[in-house]
Amino acid sequence: MAIRPIKIAPSILAADFAHLGDAVAKVAAAGADAIHVDVMDGHFVPNISIGIPVVRCLRRVTDLPIDAHLMISDPMGYASAFVEAGVDGLTVHVEGAPHLHRLLQHIRGLGVRVGVSLNPATPAIALSEILNDIDLVLVMTVNPGFGGQMFIESVLPKIRQVREMLDQAHSPAELEVDGGIGPETAKRVVDAGATMLVSGTAIFDAPRGISAAIEAIRQAAGNEQERR
Ligand code: DX5
Ligand code: ZN
């Protein structure tokens, strides 16, 4: 069985927005695998963050994949604008999409990676009908809306469950986790089956700096056994 490294996607929500280009350059130099952009509309979640113009600017300064995590009420209405701005992947919430299958087909048609996210209270079974339509599952380990929250332990069994569902479906989809991820929680989520870790505060607010923080998460996470 081949060993493959866990992917790390820094969430720029925790970066200094006055120096965003520098923050992205630093995480890239430290070996980050993708840039995670948290898009909040003050409606689907009780916070407002950043959106399309910021993605467009970041696209000019990084070759890393840009993943937009859409925490917005109308993902269908904005997906193509994010793709035009330069994202490589779009992740949408099950809870915000009454016509999830249609939305996923729409994103697929735009030619970017298709991701689906589950809030902590949403069961894994919500994925059962769309498992073959996605490239990534994002299991939220906090309630979306804010960085710097505490990791919710009770989500761990759901990560295992999603892992089993993906394996049973022979799906190569990435299993991503987001919220409260740092060196202390990385191993637990990877042991449960996560392959990609989003981390904001633990990277950008790390007292020893960005590079050391990414390395610490990588060390803690270890490698993942290739499952397929
Ligand atoms: C929460 C966001 C996360 C958040 C992660 O709504 O989706 O990406 O920024 O931040 P930390 O790592 O600080 O929990
Ligand atoms: Zn996120």
Q: How far apart are CA 59 and CA 156, in angstroms?
A: 33
Q: What's the CA-to-centroid distance between 191 and ligand 1, angstroms?
A: 20
For 188-225, the pLDDT digits (tens) are 999 999 999 999 999 999 999 999 999 999 999 998 76
Does ligand 1 lie within 6 Å of residue 13's CB atom? yes
Task: Express as a percent the part of the chain with pLDDT over 70.
Answer: 97
Atom index in ligand 1 nearest the CA of residue 36 equals: 8
Q: What's the CA-to-centroid distance between 117 and ligand 2, angstroms?
A: 9
Domain regions of the chain by residue span: 2-227
pLDDT of residue 228: 43
Pick the CATH number of 2-227 from 1.10.3210.10, 3.20.20.70, 3.30.230.10, 1.10.3720.10: 3.20.20.70
Does ligand 1 lie within 6 Å of residue 200's CB atom? yes
Q: What's the CA-to-centroid distance between 1 and ligand 2, angstroms?
A: 31
- How confident is the prediction for the chain on average, in pLDDT? 96
172-176 mean pLDDT: 98
Does ligand 1 lie within 6 Å of residue 193's CB atom? no
State the pTM of this model.
Answer: 0.97
- Binning pLDDT at 50, 70 and 90, where does residue 1 land? low
- Which residue's CA is the closest to the ligand 1 atom numbered 1? 144
Q: How far apart are CA 15 and CA 223, in angstroms?
A: 27
pLDDT of residue 2: 65
Q: How far apart are CA 56 and CA 199, in angstroms?
A: 22
- % helix, strand, coil for the chain, step of 5: 45, 20, 35
Q: How far apart are CA 10 and CA 32, in angstroms?
A: 7
Find out whether 127 and 137 touch, Cβ atoms under 8 Å.
yes
Buried b (16+ CB within 10 A) or exposed e, 151-168: bbeebbebbebbbebbee
